[in-house]
Amino acid sequence: MSNFDRGKELVEGSSRSPGDQPATPSRYESQKRRDWNTFGQYLRNQRPPVSMSQCNSNHVLEFLRYLDQFGKTKVHLQGCIFYGQPEPPAPCTCPLRQAWGSLDALIGRLRAAYEENGGSPETNPFASGAIRVYLREVKECQAKARGIPYKKKKKKAKK
């Protein structure tokens, strides 16, 4: 079967059972699996190692802070002369961090992967309020430091 036919079959609906996966997973699915494996490796490298069933929001927060060292987004410190400037005219020594949007997307993928791997939504450490608070704080801090306002979405009025 050609790739075209396989794609057409997936779009039109096919005789495949719901559990069958396409031959090549989507970019999202591949990234989700990679993120899940990376997080699992992070837990195994802890001293003592942490099992997924023991994992809680504190482990997730530690993981997010650990990832910061590999970031590529310049986040100016409050004492920096470029603090609040979206396009600083010169380099500075402020740290590179993980961008808020990257962390938010990562948590979304890990949240889905946790439940796909047998975790219950009620105990999902990636869905914890502490994680939402952390992400909101990172977003606000980066917005101020980089001079990028994030527009708050207006809540629709209930009828």
- Cβ-Cβ contacts under 8 Å for 50 (sequence gap 6 or more): 43, 44, 59
User: Considering the chain, what percentage of its residues have pLDDT values greater than 90?
Assistant: 74
Strand partners, 96: 74
pLDDT at site 112:
98
Q: Alpha-carbon distance 85 to 82, whole Å?
A: 5
Token output for 127: 């869905």
Phi first, then psi, for residue 34 (nearest 5°) are -60, -45
Q: Alpha-carbon distance 138 to 132, whole Å?
A: 10
pLDDT at site 21:
54
pLDDT at site 76:
94
Tens digits of residue pLDDT in 78-96: 999 999 998 999 999 999 9
- Cβ-Cβ contacts under 8 Å for 118 (sequence gap 6 or more): none
Residue numbers in the chain where pLDDT is lower than 50: 1-17
**DSSP summary character for residue 71:** -
The answer to whether the peptide bond before residue 89 is cis (omega within 30 degrees of 0) is no
pTM across the whole model: 0.78
Sign of CA dihedral 147, 76, 140, 34: positive
Question: How distant, in Å, are the alpha carbons of 74, 153, 158 from that of 71?
Answer: 8, 27, 40
pLDDT at site 146:
87
Architecture (CATH level 2) of domain 25-146: Orthogonal Bundle (1.10)
Q: Give the domain ranges of the chain.
A: 25-146
pLDDT at site 23:
72
pLDDT at site 148:
81
